[in-house]
Amino acid sequence: MALLSANHAFLFTSVICACICITQSTDPDIISDFIIPANTTTIDGNFFTYTGLRTAFTTDFPTEFKATKANMVEFPALVGQSISYLVVQLPVGAVNPPHTHPRSSELLLVISGHIEAGFVDTSNKLYTQSLQPGDIFVVPKGLLHYQYNANANINATALTAFGSANGGKVTLPVALFETGIDDEILARSFKTDIATVQKIKAGLAP
């Protein structure tokens, strides 16, 4: 009987811990309208305004993929608000490499040009769509995804919204080949040889 009670207690504790982990995987709720940063004495409209995305629309279009962020790091008023933005600029032929946002889903709105967007679910099924201005594409939280401008003549711009003040980003080429994982491990994982792994690493070097 005591053993049964102990097993029930262990199961109950495990379920509670799992629920806590799931709960903590999203932005925490706040119990005030907004969070005032430490050592801040004056709050006015400027605190709730961020102009850092202007450069994405007022400077020359980049020659390579560029993402301009507005999350809680750049815009402290977002702390506790569970939202952030990103401007994605894809020149002709550019790709936003396969990546994940571990803390947020993503809503992609195409502003100009055409973008091929896709994500892979946990059963390894690929979902893709060719998007034009005004189209919206959602990427479920934490799933591997990418954007690509296959158009030969037109640059593409999109605005992405996240359900987190800091969704995070893990870019696969960087995470796999630029973080110090042993070449032997990578070669075995991709069923290739060390020379090929080193060639990929050399190609990713700045």
Is 99 annotated as ligand-binding? yes
More confident residue, 134 or 30: 134
Is 96 annotated as ligand-binding? yes
The C-alpha R_g of the chain, in whole angstroms, comes to 21
49 vs 51: CA distance, rounded Å:
7
Is 153 annotated as ligand-binding? no
Q: What is the pTM of this model?
A: 0.80
Asked if residue 104 has pLDDT above 80, the reply is yes
Is 145 annotated as ligand-binding? yes
Mean pLDDT of 185-204: 93
Give Cβ neighbours of residue 36 (< 8 Å, ≥ 6 apart): 43
How many residues are recorded in the chain? 206
User: Considering only CA atoms, which of 158, 203, 174 is closest in space to residue 99?
Assistant: 174
Is 106 annotated as ligand-binding? yes
